[in-house]
């Protein structure tokens, strides 16, 4: 049984009108404006070069690799996204991510799929990106546009952090490759880094943590600011997707795609948090080629998660906990500090004691709030 609201799942940007009658501290508009201005100033004066670690490693894939092998490589290397290199063009042409696999698996599982099992062996990433998704995009609502991108969203090392963050938000991606073109005509790309909001947040956090008075909004508890997605009884009445542990994998994948979210909390009958299923968990199906042996609607998400939780899982488990939780009374700077850890993309807001899910706050929620996006930002990046 799934505890889903039987409505459509299109999500709006994170401006939430509070109707709770609890006494929550009001945020002062000046505090908000001052904080936003300072963060915007910081992000505009620092560039993507600062995101690079001193010695970093990136895995890239040739675009002519069979999709199946790419899947295995992502799993074995413990990564969930890899840029794609085209030898003929001599350029990076796209990015392969967990979402691609979810779509491929759904395609395989659906009736009338035009991909047989043998074809999957040799079906290359290039062929998938060119043709395989077209019929799917027509059935998407609103989020379809982000799947049919023809060119790579990337940034340069001298682009300011604000531009990088806006590119990530506007294109609804998780990472943006930082590429440096070392020759005059831009023909020799040098891949430097995969930038994500997590890295940018870490820069902000490191820079401001010793002068917290300059960002007063950070002291506010998260329940008092319009940031994050909340369950209907606390926030406004938008649907909040959650699943029971025995929900089928195909239902989980469908929900991830349709709702356009990157993860779904798994709750028990009381609404208490048990675990979380994210898009990146899909790569665990590469273990022992499970994806070839199962039918998506026969496997439960609990079983799917167990696959990924072996001792040798390289990606895994950060701080010994898969789902990072926080309370609604936690101040924003505490939430930011935890989101600044690599691998943590979201915190689940729970009620103290019972662990009942109250909401989710993610990296993109925090950035949209801090940048005043999209209301106050006029750029459009493609």
**Residues in region 69-98 near other proteins by CB under 8 A:** 69-70, 73, 78, 85, 87
Least distance (Å) from other proteins to the CB of residue 163?
Answer: 19
Q: Is 52 in the site for other proteins (CB under 8 A)?
A: yes
Q: How far apart are CA 259 and CA 253, in angstroms?
A: 10
Q: How far apart are CA 200 and CA 164, in angstroms?
A: 9
CA-CA-CA-CA torsion sign (25, 207, 366, 3): negative
Q: What dihedral angle (degrees, nearest 10) is formed by the CA atoms of 305, 308, 310, 313?
A: -150
Cis geometry, peptide bond prior to residue 70 (ω within 30 degrees of 0): no
Q: How far apart are CA 188 and CA 92, in angstroms?
A: 10
- How distant, in Å, are the alpha carbons of 100, 211, 371 from that of 248? 19, 48, 38
Q: Which of 45, 319, 329, 354 binds other proteins (CB under 8 A)?
A: 319
Q: Identify which of residues 142 and 343 has a Cβ nearer to other proteins in the complex.
A: 343
Q: Which of 193, 279, 345, 368 binds other proteins (CB under 8 A)?
A: 193
**Residues in region 231-290 near other proteins by CB under 8 A:** none
Residue with tokens 């699943």: 243
Count of positions on this chain that bind other proteins (CB under 8 A): 40
List helix spans (H) across 271-362: 290-293, 301-308, 332-339
Q: Is 327 in the site for other proteins (CB under 8 A)?
A: no
Q: Which of 26, 138, 151, 210 binds other proteins (CB under 8 A)?
A: 210
Q: Is 65 in the site for other proteins (CB under 8 A)?
A: yes
Q: What dihedral angle (degrees, nearest 10) is formed by the CA atoms of 135, 283, 173, 179?
A: -110
How would you classify the pairing of strands 81-86 and 346-350? unpaired
In this structure, are residues 328 and 200 in contact, taking their beta carbons and an 8 Å threshold?
Answer: no
Least distance (Å) from other proteins to the CB of residue 99?
Answer: 20
Q: What dihedral angle (degrees, nearest 10) is formed by the CA atoms of 189, 192, 197, 203?
A: -140
Least distance (Å) from other proteins to the CB of residue 323?
Answer: 16
Q: Is 53 in the site for other proteins (CB under 8 A)?
A: yes
Q: Is 318 in the site for other proteins (CB under 8 A)?
A: yes
**Residues in region 142-171 near other proteins by CB under 8 A:** 157
Q: Which of 58, 134, 145, 292 binds other proteins (CB under 8 A)?
A: 58
Q: Is 55 in the site for other proteins (CB under 8 A)?
A: yes
Least distance (Å) from other proteins to the CB of residue 87?
Answer: 8
How would you classify the pairing of strands 91-97 and 81-86? antiparallel
Least distance (Å) from other proteins to the CB of residue 257?
Answer: 26
Q: Identify which of residues 62 and 119 has a Cβ nearer to other proteins in the complex.
A: 62
Q: Is 321 in the site for other proteins (CB under 8 A)?
A: no
Q: Which of 25, 56, 131, 186 binds other proteins (CB under 8 A)?
A: 56
Q: Is 313 in the site for other proteins (CB under 8 A)?
A: no
Least distance (Å) from other proteins to the CB of residue 170?
Answer: 26
Least distance (Å) from other proteins to the CB of residue 222?
Answer: 18
How would you classify the pairing of strands 325-326 and 346-350? parallel
**Contacts with 89 (C-beta within 8 Å, 6 or more apart), sequence order:** none
Q: Which of 172, 337, 356, 377 binds other proteins (CB under 8 A)?
A: 337
Binding residues (CB under 8 A) for other proteins: these are: 49-50, 52-62, 64-66, 69-70, 73, 78, 85, 87, 157, 180, 190-193, 206-211, 213-214, 318-319, 337, 341
């Amino acid at each position: 049984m799934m505890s889903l609201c039987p409505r459509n799942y299109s999500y709006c940007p994170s401006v939430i009108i509070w109707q709770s009658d609890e006494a929550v501290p009001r945020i002062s508009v000046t505090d908000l404006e001052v904080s936003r201005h300072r963060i915007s100033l910081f992000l505009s004066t620092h560039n993507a070069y600062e995101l690079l670690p001193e010695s970093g490693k990136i895995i890239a894939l040739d675009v002519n690799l069979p999709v199946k092998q790419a899947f295995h490589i992502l799993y074995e290397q413990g990564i969930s996204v890899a840029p794609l290199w085209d030898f003929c063009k001599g350029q990076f042409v796209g990015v392969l991510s967990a979402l691609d696999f979810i779509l491929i698996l759904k395609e395989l599982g659906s009736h009338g799929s035009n991909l047989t099992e043998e074809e999957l062996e040799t079906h290359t990433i290039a062929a998938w990106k060119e043709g395989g998704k077209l019929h799917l995009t027509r059935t998407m609502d609103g989020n379809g546009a982000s799947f049919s991108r023809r060119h790579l969203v990337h940034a340069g090392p001298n682009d300011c952090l604000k531009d990088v963050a806006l590119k990530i938000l506007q294109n609804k991606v998780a990472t943006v490759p930082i590429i440096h073109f070392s020759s005059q005509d831009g023909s020799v790309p040098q891949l430097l880094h995969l930038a994500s909001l997590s890295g940018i947040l870490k820069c902000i956090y490191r820079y401001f943590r010793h002068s917290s008075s300059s960002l007063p909004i950070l002291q506010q508890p998260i329940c008092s600011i319009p940031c994050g997605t909340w369950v209907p009884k606390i926030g406004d009445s938008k649907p909040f997707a959650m699943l029971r542990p025995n929900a089928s994998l195909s239902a989980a994948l469908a929900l991830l795609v349709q709702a356009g979210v990157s993860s779904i909390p798994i709750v028990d009958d009381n609404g208490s948090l048990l675990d979380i299923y994210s898009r990146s968990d899909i790569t665990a199906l590469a273990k022992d080629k499970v994806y070839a042996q199962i039918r998506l609607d026969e496997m439960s998400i609990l079983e799917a998660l167990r696959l990924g939780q072996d001792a040798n899982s390289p990606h895994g488990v950060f701080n010994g906990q898969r789902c990072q939780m926080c309370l609604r009374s936690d101040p924003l700077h505490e939430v930011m500090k935890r989101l600044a850890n690599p691998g943590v993309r979201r915190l689940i807001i729970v009620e103290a004691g019972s662990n009942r899910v109250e909401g989710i706050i993610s990296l993109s929620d925090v950035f949209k709030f801090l940048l005043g996006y999209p209301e106050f930002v006029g750029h459009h990046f493609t």
